[in-house]
Amino acid sequence: MSLVGKLESEIEVHAPAHRFYRFFKHEISHVVNVCPKLIQKIKVHNGDWKDHCHGSIKVWNYVVEDKAEVLKERVEFDDKNLVVCMIGLEGDVFEHYKVFKATFQFVPKGPNRSAVILILEYEKLHDGPPYPHKYHDAMHKFAKDIESHLK
């Protein structure tokens, strides 16, 4: 059994790709109001909200499957391809995983439509932990809540 894996899916949303990307890059501090059932708190650990730049580090408090968890991550932006990568640094997921990286790519599909490609890359610490489907499902919910906000 491989300990390294990737979960990937694509969802269609009714919002422009550039608007989704802009939300992640410049408005992510509002995510607590946009996704209140999923995200309880987000704070900047290194960087600031005004210059939410490549390499900034944030600490997220969130709930997955009725369990409160924390994740410290470093964000990377690819402005040309509208890609946001959140690279896990420490937190609850590291009880089971050695590597944890969530990627959102926004692909234009029309004036008010886009695809969101969701990729979750991971490496388990050993054979025991479950595959991180619950986190991939949370990424779907996250994208759909943002879509509702952007409409």
How confident is the model at residue 52, as a pLDDT? 56
How confident is the model at residue 49, as a pLDDT? 57
Task: Give the model confidence (pLDDT) of 70-83 as tens digits.
Answer: 999 999 999 999 99
Give the separation between CA 54 and CA 79, rounded to whole angstroms: 10
How confident is the model at residue 42, as a pLDDT? 93
DSSP annotation of 56? -
pLDDT, average across residues 109-128: 94
Q: What is the pTM of this model?
A: 0.92
User: Which three-class secondary structure state does DSSP give residue 25?
Assistant: helix
How confident is the model at residue 128, as a pLDDT? 86
Asked if the model's pLDDT at residue 151 lies above 60, the reply is yes
How confident is the model at residue 111, as a pLDDT? 85
Task: Give the model confidence (pLDDT) of 8-55 as tens digits.
Answer: 999 999 999 999 999 999 888 899 999 999 999 999 887 665 555 667
How confident is the model at residue 129, as a pLDDT? 85
How confident is the model at residue 51, as a pLDDT? 52
DSSP annotation of 47? S
The alpha helices in the chain, defined as continuous H runs, are 17-26, 31-34, 133-150
Task: Give the model confidence (pLDDT) of 82-116 as tens digits.
Answer: 999 999 999 999 999 999 999 999 999 988 999 99
CATH of 4-150, one of 3.30.530.20, 2.30.30.280, 2.40.30.170, 1.10.357.10: 3.30.530.20
What are the domain boundaries of the chain? 4-150
Q: Which two tokens stand for residue 89?
A: 């640094």
